[in-house]
Structure 1
Amino acid sequence: MSSTVKASPSNNFRPKLNFLYGGSGISFGSRVNVALSKPRVPEVLCMSTPTTTTTQHQVTPMSKHNDVAILVNGCTGNMGKAVISAAYSAGLHIVPVSFGSTEEAGQMVEVCGKDILVHGPSDKESVLASVFDEHPNMIVVDYTVPAAVNDNAELYSKVGVPFVMGTTGGDRDRLYKIAENSKVYAVISPQMGKQVVAFLATMEIMAEQFPEAFSGYSLQVLESHQAGKLDTSGTAKAIISCFRKLGVSFDMDQIQMIRDPKKQIEMLGVPEEHVPGHAFHMYHLKSPDQIVSLKFQDNVCGRSIYAEGTVDAVLFLSKKVKSKAGKRIYNMIDVLREGNMR
């Protein structure tokens, strides 16, 4: 009932929080420069373990939450597998069922010693309803594809099962409308990394407290993800919304999407081993007279930060369901504000 993962190397690896590419400060153009020296790799939130050392150890549950059952829709993908591993380590009950395409139907996926059967589209409603009857404390986690977001939300709402929507993309207005019109509890967030969400929450507070503070400023946005991510970063869109409230004019189609591995390594400094799984975001503000320049950056290597945040969202939602809370639709900022992060 376990799987092997790579342990941390002997050197003390720590995530860094830098708000400037190549430094730890904010650069105010040519007149003032508070930027510190450039590190070897521009890491802001690099939460995955470096791979120079590959000691293996057994994954065992760290805490017990056996009263919470989790079904991960999208277990064939890397993110889905990462969530299952994190949920197993936290002691959640893993429901051995998932859903996929017609081609994936019948596959058996093994994660942490758990055999998970993938069902196709034709029987997903009946299977989900049956499993929910068997596990009334179950919460579904969705890490599928953007095109499936709205249909999946309708399925969860129809069956009545609480869900955590980690998949980005889809029609987000429709997604919220589906959830709000149903009686299900849900956590919906374009970003599940707790530390990145904390930064986003700070941006939202700043936008609320200081509207139009950057009126007239121009904005450049660059986001880099693994080639398999087809949609534009939901995190970037959320941050841009904050900048708009701060007075910046910016269209979403101006976002620079980097999916070329060569550019990611050479231009952005993405570690080669993390090209298949990373999330780099850079935001560059300039004053109208070009003498003030501010850069914000968050870089994530690996998927563990999202997986751990997703498990926290599941535990949070489980409490809301049990307490029959009046509010039903939440995001990761709500999870953070609860103050019970593991």
Structure 2
Amino acid sequence: MMMLLVVVVASALAPSDVVVMMNGLPGKMGIEVADACARRGMSLAEVALTGKEESAPIEVASTTVKLVEAGTPEAEEAMASVVASCDELGKTLVAIDYTVPEAAVPNAELYARHGVSFVMGTTGGDRAALERSVLDGHHCAVIAPNMAKQIVALQAAIDYAATEFPGAFKGYKLDVIESHQSTKLDTSGTAKAIVSALVSLVDEAPDAAAATDAIAAISRVRDAPTQLEGAGGRLQRVPETALSGHAYHTYGLTSADDSVRFELRHNVNGRRVYAEGTADAALFLARRLAQRQEETPAAGKKKRLFDMIDVLKSGELA
């Protein structure tokens, strides 16, 4: 008698099982990310954290989202309500944060209090405090200064070169200029990270102040006339249609006698590339959470703090 053996294999968490709390609406980046998550099949929570100046509900990704001021008792209640709703429906909740630098740490502490895992796209906050909020909690997070996976892959290549070939550009002068929309208040986190690696290519044993000084020397462009004309040739000219949302970076390495110059540029118009990477990060995080629920507890601590390199290595990209 032949017996049929049926093997049931647990499938990966479906995007439809993921609910995203899109904090930072009605900001342009928040809207772009909400749309990207919807395109991937994830749904939006019907409430989101916002700043003091916003209060009216917003229609985004076919969902009416109530906006609640962050840092208020109402925000605590809203977070608890979203958590309870997802638990009842058997959905996996992930918060995505594109608020403002001063709200990043308080929001991260809110997520910790409610055990909500999050993707932090807000830059300019206290990175050490953000990481502590996760490591001292029981949830997970993807924290990265840049969610564009292509730029992150490029950054990883530069990090590799800095590690494997320190001092390869010894004696060269480093100059960096970055241009973003006028509403971006801080220096680009991506520029800071890439500069930190380039410093090691210029000096095989840089002292602690070298990276700090190089970051402080980054030229930051936020005015439209300079962006439109290309900052005197230091940047590619920004199209007028992209003034409200772009990221143009030029990293230059020039020999001491000015006879040799290398340039690395990455120019982004619009926000979609960051939004798509953020959606990847949210789904990556949700699937890690689902995995943890299925796994038998093992000795030792499991990784809970991730970056976009982890997302890239996972292969779970759109």
Instruction: Tell me the amino acid that sits aligned with residue 317 of structure 2.
Output: M
Secondary structure of the residue that 2:317 maps to in structure 1? Answer: coil
Q: Which structure's CA Rg is the greater one?
A: 2
Secondary structure of the residue that 1:251 maps to in structure 2? Answer: helix
1:188 aligns with 2:156: no
Q: Which has the higher helix share?
A: 2
Alpha-carbon distance in structure 2 between the residues aligned to 1:68 and 1:113:
16
Instruction: Report what 1:82 is aligned to.
Output: 32
Alpha-carbon distance in structure 2 between the residues aligned to 1:255 and 1:153:
28
Instruction: Tell me the amino acid that sits aligned with residue 286 of structure 1.
Output: T
Instruction: Report what 2:303 is aligned to.
Output: 327
Instruction: Report what 1:37 is aligned to.
Output: none
Alpha-carbon distance in structure 1 between the residues aligned to 2:280 and 2:160:
23
Instruction: Report what 2:256 is aligned to.
Output: 288
Q: Deviations over 1:166-220 (max 9, x none)?
A: 0110111222222222221000000001111110111111111112222222111
Alpha-carbon distance in structure 1 between the residues aligned to 2:199 and 2:142:
25
Q: For residues 61-76 of structure 1, what are the structure 2 equivalents within 5 Å?
A: 65-76=15-26
Q: For residues 1-342 of structure 1, what are the structure 2 equivalents within 5 Å?
A: 65-105=15-55, 107-121=56-70, 122=72, 123-136=74-87, 137-248=92-203, 249=210, 250-267=213-230, 268-324=236-292, 326-342=302-318
Q: Percent same amino acid at aligned positions?
A: 42
Q: Deviations over 1:78-102 (max 9, x none)?
A: 0000011111111101111111123
Secondary structure of the residue that 2:175 maps to in structure 1? Answer: strand
Unpaired runs of 5+ residues, structure 1, are 1-63
- C-alpha displacement of 1:158: 1.4
Instruction: Tell me the amino acid that sits aligned with residue 224 of structure 2.
Output: P
Instruction: Tell me the amino acid that sits aligned with residue 338 of structure 1.
Output: S
- C-alpha displacement of 1:289: 2.6
Q: Is the Cα–Cα contact under 8 Å of residues 199 and 214 in structure 2 kept in the other structure?
A: no
Alpha-carbon distance in structure 2 between the residues aligned to 1:341 and 1:119:
31
Q: Which runs of 4+ in 1 moved over 4 A?
A: none
Instruction: Tell me the amino acid that sits aligned with residue 169 of structure 1.
Output: G
Alpha-carbon distance in structure 2 between the residues aligned to 1:288 and 1:139:
49
Alpha-carbon distance in structure 2 between the residues aligned to 1:187 and 1:100:
20
Unpaired runs of 5+ residues, structure 2, are 1-13, 204-209, 231-235, 296-301
Instruction: Tell me the amino acid that sits aligned with residue 312 of structure 1.
Output: D
Instruction: Tell me the amino acid that sits aligned with residue 166 of structure 2.
Output: P
Q: Deviations over 1:1-36 (max 9, x none)?
A: xxxxxxxxxxxxxxxxxxxxxxxxxxxxxxxxxxxx
- C-alpha displacement of 1:126: 1.9
Q: Deviations over 1:301-328 (max 9, x none)?
A: 0011011000000111111111128211
Q: Deviations over 1:45-79 (max 9, x none)?
A: xxxxxxxxxxxxxxxxxxx6210110100111000
